[in-house]
Amino acid sequence: MKQAMKKFRTSLVASAALASICLGAAGNARADAFAQAILTIDNFRLSHSNGDAFNATDFSALTGMNVAGASASLGNSSVTAPAQNISIFSGVTPDIAHQFVGLPTPPRLENDFTPFPSPAPVPGTFGYADEAMSGTALTIGNRVAGALTQSRADASLQADGSAAGASNVGTMTSFMFMLGAADTMTFAFDATPFTEAYTSGNPTTAAMASVTWTLNILDEAGNSVFVFAPSQLNGMSNVNSTNNFAGNATYAPGTLAFTATSMLLAANTNYRLTISQTSGANAMQDTAVPEPGSLAVFGLGLLGMSTFLRRRR
């Protein structure tokens, strides 16, 4: 009996030690989370029904602004770039300085809109955002129609916490216009969306990435008379990854061509045209909860103790 009790104590100590090791490993487990969202709109232009690009001289009244902003956060730390509000007639376009918190510093060079290589490993622990715009949507003076707008947001975690990037981009462009003659307005451009979300599977890990692009024309009463929001640049681009569906979720359709034409717009009537582009990324993780695999091993240790007791009986 003494020998049996000795064996039992030895087994109990060994099982308890195994459980302790498993739980300790669970508490220190690393669970990565990463999201990136990039949208490039290239050669955006406004054209008449005959295919010619609109010129500023085609309007009996025209004003317009390009507005840009970007922000990034990591935990309780955040940075936000001063907003840029620039007239379409200034010859200058918004170029927001990239915003970042965390390491590495900086995660990307200024105006680098290429995706990070697909994880794992994730590229660091940071929040990041950037924006740039060049060109013009219609011919103004010697500037030929054809605008390029790029936005990106990234969130990356190699440690517990939360990270976010947001680029509310410069094509928050708003035109107030009045046509000299009734005509339709055709919008044409190429778009390259890229979104990716990745998690390594910890119970409280999540990553989300999305881009949006919309165009809206309002009449002078504020009623929407034309909307263009292609699903490929909106809902289809939303990706996420959580512990229930760990791994990579990626939307990368390549470069897409878009064309849309408004209804007939009356002459000498006030309209407002608004074009909005955004990129957003968020990541969150908390590795303090023991992982199911570790708890299973802990259970096996207890099962071993139970088996030993039954045999002694």
3-class secondary structure per residue, the chain: CHHHHHHHHHHHHHHHHHHHHHHHHHHCCCCCEEEEEEEEEEEEEEECCCCCECEHHHEEEEEEEEEEEEEEEECCEEEECCCEEEECCCCCCCCCCCEEEEECCCCCCCCCCCCCCCCCCCCCEEEEEEEEEEEECCEECCECEEEEEEEEEEEEECCCEEEEEEEEEEEEEEEEEEECCCECCEEEEEEEEEEEEEECCCCCEEEEEEEEEEEEEEECCCCEEEEECCHHHCHHHCEEEEHHHCEEEEECCCCEEEEEECCCECECCCEEEEEEEEEEEEEEECCCCCCHHHHHHHHHHHHHHHHHHHHHC
Q: What is the pLDDT of residues 48-93, one digit of tens each?
A: 999 999 999 999 999 999 999 999 999 889 999 999 999 999 999 9
Can you give the pLDDT at residue 30? 60
Using an 8 Å Cβ cutoff, are 96 and 69 in contact? Answer: yes
Distance CA 313, CA 311 (A): 5
∠ CA 84-140-227, rounded to 5°? 70
pLDDT confidence band for 12 (50 / 70 / 90):
very low
Distance CA 188, CA 203 (A): 44
The mean per-residue pLDDT over the stretch 151-176 comes to 79
Residue with tokens 């034309």: 226
pLDDT at 2 over 60: no
- Amino acid identity at 170: G
pTM over 0.75: yes
What per-residue string of b and e applies to 62-86 under the rule 16 or more CB within 10 Å gives b?
bebbbbbbbbbbbbeeebebeebeb
The mean per-residue pLDDT over the stretch 31-59 comes to 95
Can you give the pLDDT at residue 85? 93
Can you give the pLDDT at residue 164? 79
pLDDT confidence band for 120 (50 / 70 / 90):
low
pLDDT at 107 over 90: yes
- Amino acid identity at 153: A
Using an 8 Å Cβ cutoff, are 100 and 106 in contact? Answer: yes
Q: Are strands 33-47 and 224-228 parallel, antiparallel or unpaired?
A: unpaired
Q: What is the pLDDT of residues 214-260, one digit of tens each?
A: 999 999 999 999 999 999 999 999 999 987 888 999 999 999 999 99
pLDDT confidence band for 173 (50 / 70 / 90):
confident
The mean per-residue pLDDT over the stretch 151-157 comes to 94
Can you give the pLDDT at residue 121? 79
Using an 8 Å Cβ cutoff, are 187 and 152 in contact? Answer: no
